[in-house]
Amino acid sequence: MGSGLRACAGALLLAFAAVWPAAATEIQRVRSPGGIEAWLVEDKSVPVIGFRFSFRGGGALDPRGRSGLANMVSALLDEGAADLDSQAFQRALEDIAASIGFDAGRERFHGTLRTLSEHRARAFGLLRKALAAPRFDAEPVERIRRQIAAGIESGKDNPRRIAGRAWSGLVFGDHPYARPLAGTQRDVAAIAVEDMRRFVRERFVRDGLTVGVAGDISASELARRLDEVFGELPLSGVAAHLPEPPPVRGGMEIVRKPIPQSVVVFGQAGVKRDDPDYYAAYVMNHLLGGGRNSRLNEELREKRGLVYSVHTYFRLFHRAGTIVGQLATANARVGTALDLVRGEWKRMARDGVDADELAAAKRYINGSFPLRLDSTRSIAGMLVAIQLNRLGIDYIDRRPALIDAVTGEDIRRVARRLLSPDRLVIVVVGDPEGLESTR
Amino acid sequence: MRPVPRRRLTAPRASLARALGVVSLSFAAVAGAPVQAGVFNPETFTLDNGLQVVVVENARAPIVVHTVWYRAGAADEPPGKSGIAHFLEHLMFKGTPTVPSGWFSKIVAANGGSDNAFTSQDYTAYVQRVASDRLELVMRMEADRMANLRLTDEKVAPERGVVQEERRQRTGNSPAAQLYERRRAVTYLRHPYRIPVIGWKREIDGLTAEDALAFYRRHYAPNNAILIVAGDATAARVRRLAEKHYGPIPRRPVPGRVRPVEPDQLAARRITMKHPRVHVPSVSITWRTPSYAAGETRHAYPLLLLSDILGGGSTSRLHRRLVIEEKAAAGAGAGYLGIALDMGEFSVSASALAGGDIVRIEALLKEEIERVVEHGVSEAELTRTRRAMLAGAIYARDGLRAAPRVIGRALTTGQTIADVEAWPERIRAVTAAELQDAARAVFVERRSITAVLLPGPPG
C-alpha cells in the first residue's frame, strides 16, 4: 500500500505537524502542604472538574482464597461512609450531580471524581469519607455480594470472557496475573468485612498515590483539597510483591461451544513499558494489527470479509508485556483466519515495513494522540498514566519525537525479536472446523 | 489503545438490550443530553442546495469533529432489502473516482485523524475527528462521496461477509441480543422499526451493489443531509469551506419519510425464550410511546424524567424496591427512547440473581408501574431528577463528542435546533401532574410487550 498511498494521497496531504491542545501542554506540578503531589491542567472554559487518582496494588494482590476482594471493595466504597449510610451517600452525590467511581485493576486501584466546580467542596468531602471511613454495612455488603455472584454466573457462557480467561491461564498459569478480577463464586462468598477493612488500611496510603486533575480549579485550591481528601490516610502500607510470571509456551486450546461464530484470542510475550524498544514495538503493532488500516485488517477484513473486527494491542503489566489480538469469524473460516494471522506475523518478522507505511503510521500516531484530550476526564486520566509510567512531565511534548525516531531498522529488529508464529498462544471458543487443541 | 471496530453500527434504540443488565438512566440522560440554552449556542445556515449546516464553536483545543447526517436509516428501506442502509454505510468507504476503495480512512489516518460511521432506524452518520487545519481535507472527501460513490459487485462481496460476521458477533452469539431482536419484531406489527438495523440474515445475503446504489441515489442528497462541525472552527470558515465543497452538489428530489402506520395494540404481547447458554433469567416490559417529535409529544419530557425516577441509578425506585428491599434482582432499570421520528418506547427491566425467581421480579416491576399510575411521584423525586439532568447539560460541554451527536440525532428525528436549545427549560417546566398523566397514558396493560429470557433447552 505504501507507494500507492503517496500517489493517491499526494494531492490531499498537506504539510503536516502534530497539533496539541494548548492546555494539555501546560501541566502544573502541585504539592500540598502535607506533601501530596498532583499534576494539574487548569482550564476554566467549562465549570467542571475531572479528578483521577490511583493507589498501588490491585486484584493481583488479593489473598489466596479471597479472589475478587479488590473488586468488591471498589463496589462498596460509595455504599455508605462515615455518618452517611448507603442511600444517604448516594443521595448526597445526586444532590450535587457529582459522580464518584472506583475500579480495581490488576496492579493498581483507581478512583475518579467528576463534579461541577460550584459543588466541589461537597464533592471532595464525600470522596474523603469514602476513602477514609467506608462503612461496609451489612445490607450493601450482602447486596453487592449477590450482584457480583449474579455477574459471574451470567457471564460464564460468554464466549469472549471464556476466551480471555483461558488465554490468561495459558500464558500466566498460576500467577496472579491470570486470576479473574471479579473472583470465583467460592472466594466471593468468603470475603469478610474484616478482609475489606484490612484492604482499606493497607492499600489506601499516601505512598504510591498518583493524582491527575483537569478543569476548573486553581493550583492553590487543589493543594488544599489534596490534604483534605487524602491527608488522613496513613503514609505507608504493607509492601506487596508479585513473583515473576512463568515463561510463555506456544500452543492452541479449543473450548467447544455450540455457537455460530468462533471467538479467537491470540498473542504472545511482548515488551514491557520500560523496554528500550517500546516505541518501535508500538509502531510495529500499529501496522500489524493495532490501527484501523493495519495489515491484519487489510488481509482479513478488507480483502476477504472474514471478520467484522480484528485488532492487536499491548496488555502491559509491571512484570510482563504481552501482545494480544482478537477476532471472531464463522466456524468454517477459523482455520483460514488463523493461517492469515500467522502469515502476517511471519511477514512482519521477515520483511519489516516499507518507508511509506511507516511514515503514514507515524503521522497517525502523532496526530491522533492529542485528539483524545478533549475533556477533563480524558486529560486527568492521561496525567495519571504518564506519572505511573514515569514518562516525565514533558512527555506530551517529547512523545512525537520518540515516535518519529523509530526507523524501519528498529521495527525489523523488534519484530524479529518478538514475533514468532510458533510461540503464539491461541484460544478458540466455538465450534471451529478442522482444528484441534495442541496443549 | 484498543480500537473501536470501524463503521460501528449503533442503534441508539438498542440501548434497551443493555437495560437487561444494570442500567443507569440518569447517565444515559447525561450522555444523550441535549443542552442548556446558551450551552451549545450553535450557529446554523442552509446552503442554496438545501444542505443544513450547524456549527458549534469550541476553541478549547485545535481539534474539529466533522459530521454528516443523512435523514435516512433502516426504517427507510424498501421491503425485502433489510440491512441496506447499514450496508451502504459500510460501502461508503469503497471509493469514488478520486478516492479509491479503502483510501478514505487511510487518508484521514495519514493526516493524524480518525473516522467512523453509524446507522440507526432514522439516520446514518459519518464522523471524522481531525486537527482543525485538516477540516478542509475531510470536508472535500465527505462531499466527494456524497455525490460520486462508485460500487461494483466485486467490491461489495467481501463487505457482505464483513456485515454477516458483524451480525453473528452482535446477535448470533448472544441469546440476550436474539431475544431483543425478536422483542422489537413483536413490538411493531406494521411499522419498520420491527426490522433490525443490521437486517435479517437471509436478506443481507441477497443485497447487491445495485441495491446499495439505489438507496444512495434515493436518499443521499445535500437537501437530505445535515453538516455539523464542532470544535475549533468559526461559522464563517465553515460556511466558506462548505460552499466550496458541498455547494456544487445539486439538489435532488428526495422521498418524504412516510412510513406505514402502526395499528393500536389491542392485546398484551409476551415472548419467552429459553436458551442453554443463559444462566441468569431476565425480563423486560415495553410500551410504545410518543417520541419528542411524534404522537402526544407533551408526554415526552415527563417520560424522560419518569425513566430516571424509576430506573436512574442507586436511588431510583426500581433499584430500591427490587434490588435493595426485596433482594429479588441483581439489577433493575428503566429507559425512555424518545429520539425517534415516528414513535418511542418506554421500558422497564430487571435481571435475576443466580437461581432467582423471575415471576416475582415481573410482578414487582408491574407493582412499581402501577404505583406511578395511581400515585404519581413526589416533588422531592422530581427535584432530584431534574437537577441531575440539568447538570448533564453542563457536562455535555466538557468534550466535543456530545454536541454533534445530540444535534444530529435531534435534527434527523423531527426536532429542531430550537428544541435542542430549549431542553433545560422544558426539563424545568415538567410538573408531577404531567408525569402522572404520561404514566396513565402509556402504561396500559393491553399495550404492553413482555420479554422473558430463561435458562434451559429451547424446547
Q: For residue B62, list chain A residues with Cβ-Cβ distance below 8 A.
A: 19-22
pLDDT at B22: 25
Interchain pair A373, B61: CB under 8 A: yes
Interchain pair B141, A12: CB under 8 A: yes
* Choice among B77, B89, B368, B381 that is catalytic: B89
B131, A15 Cβ separation under 8 angstroms: no
Enter the ipTM.
Answer: 0.91
Per-residue pLDDT of B358-379, as tens digits, reads: 999 999 999 999 999 999 999 9
The backbone torsions φ and ψ at residue B69, rounded to the nearest 5 degrees and listed phi first, read: -115, 130
Per-residue pLDDT of A306-323, as tens digits, reads: 999 999 999 999 999 999
Strands (E), A117-207: none
Across chain B, mean pLDDT equals: 91
pLDDT at B130: 96
pLDDT at B38: 55
Interchain pair A19, B161: CB under 8 A: no
Q: For residue A303, list chain B residues with Cβ-Cβ distance below 8 A.
A: 158
Interchain pair B169, A261: CB under 8 A: yes
- Name every residue whose Cβ is closer than 8 Å to that of residue B82 and which is 6 or more positions away in sequence: B74, B195, B196, B199, B200, B203, B204
| Nearest to A256, CA basis, from A27, A437, A3 | A437
For A216, nearest residue in chain B (alpha carbons): B398
Cα(A409)–Cα(B247) distance, integer angstroms:
47
Interchain pair B130, A377: CB under 8 A: no
The C-alpha of A118 sits at a distance from chain B's nearest C-alpha, in angstroms, of 11
* Res B26 pLDDT > 80: no
The C-alpha of A60 sits at a distance from chain B's nearest C-alpha, in angstroms, of 22
Interchain pair B314, A374: CB under 8 A: no
Per-residue pLDDT of B295-315, as tens digits, reads: 999 999 999 999 999 999 899
pLDDT at A240: 78
pLDDT at B355: 77
pLDDT at A25: 59
Interchain pair B392, A293: CB under 8 A: no
* Res A287 pLDDT > 80: yes
Q: For residue A273, list chain B residues with Cβ-Cβ distance below 8 A.
A: none
Categorize the per-residue pLDDT at B96 as very low, low, confident or very high, splitting at 50, 70 and 90.
very high
A232, A397 Cβ separation under 8 angstroms: no
Categorize the per-residue pLDDT at B415 as very low, low, confident or very high, splitting at 50, 70 and 90.
very high
Q: For residue B58, list chain A residues with Cβ-Cβ distance below 8 A.
A: 45
The C-alpha of B314 sits at a distance from chain A's nearest C-alpha, in angstroms, of 7
In order of A25, A52, A317, the CA distances from A270 in angstroms are 30, 28, 11
* Res A93 pLDDT > 70: yes
| Nearest to A130, CA basis, from A100, A88, A97 | A100
pLDDT at B354: 79
Closest to B110 (Cβ–Cβ): which among A5, A146, A151?
Answer: A5
Cβ of B161 under 8 Å from any chain A Cβ?
yes
Per-residue pLDDT of B147-198, as tens digits, reads: 999 999 998 999 999 999 999 999 999 999 999 999 999 999 999 999 999 9
Per-residue pLDDT of B135-151, as tens digits, reads: 999 999 999 999 999 99
B89 is catalytic: yes
Please, what is the Cα angle at B87 between B84 and B89, to 5 degrees? 115
Task: At B290, list the grid cell.
Answer: 410518543
The C-alpha of B352 sits at a distance from chain A's nearest C-alpha, in angstroms, of 8
Categorize the per-residue pLDDT at A97 as very low, low, confident or very high, splitting at 50, 70 and 90.
very high
Identify the helix (H) or strand (E) that includes residue B393: helix B379-395
Cell 512531565 -> residue:
A393
* Res B1 pLDDT > 60: no
Categorize the per-residue pLDDT at B356 as very low, low, confident or very high, splitting at 50, 70 and 90.
confident
* Res A284 pLDDT > 60: yes
Average pLDDT, integer, range B6-15: 32
pLDDT at A241: 85
pTM (2 d.p.): 0.92
CB pairs under 8 A between A and B: 236
Categorize the per-residue pLDDT at A238 as very low, low, confident or very high, splitting at 50, 70 and 90.
confident
Q: For residue A377, list chain B residues with Cβ-Cβ distance below 8 A.
A: 398-399
The C-alpha of B444 sits at a distance from chain A's nearest C-alpha, in angstroms, of 31
* Res B24 pLDDT > 60: no
pLDDT at B59: 85
Categorize the per-residue pLDDT at B61 as very low, low, confident or very high, splitting at 50, 70 and 90.
confident
Number of residues in chain B? 459
Task: At A264, list the grid cell.
Answer: 479467537
pLDDT at B19: 27
pLDDT at A3: 35
* Res B407 pLDDT > 60: yes
A143, B324 Cβ separation under 8 angstroms: yes
Across chain A, mean pLDDT equals: 93
Per-residue pLDDT of A345-370, as tens digits, reads: 999 999 999 999 999 999 999 999 98
DSSP secondary structure letter of residue B401: S
Interchain pair B330, A16: CB under 8 A: no
Categorize the per-residue pLDDT at B107 as very low, low, confident or very high, splitting at 50, 70 and 90.
very high
For B9, nearest residue in chain A (alpha carbons): A308
3-state DSSP assignment of residue B343 = coil
Task: At A12, list the grid cell.
Answer: 490531499
Identify the helix (H) or strand (E) that includes residue A219: helix A219-230
Categorize the per-residue pLDDT at A374 as very low, low, confident or very high, splitting at 50, 70 and 90.
confident
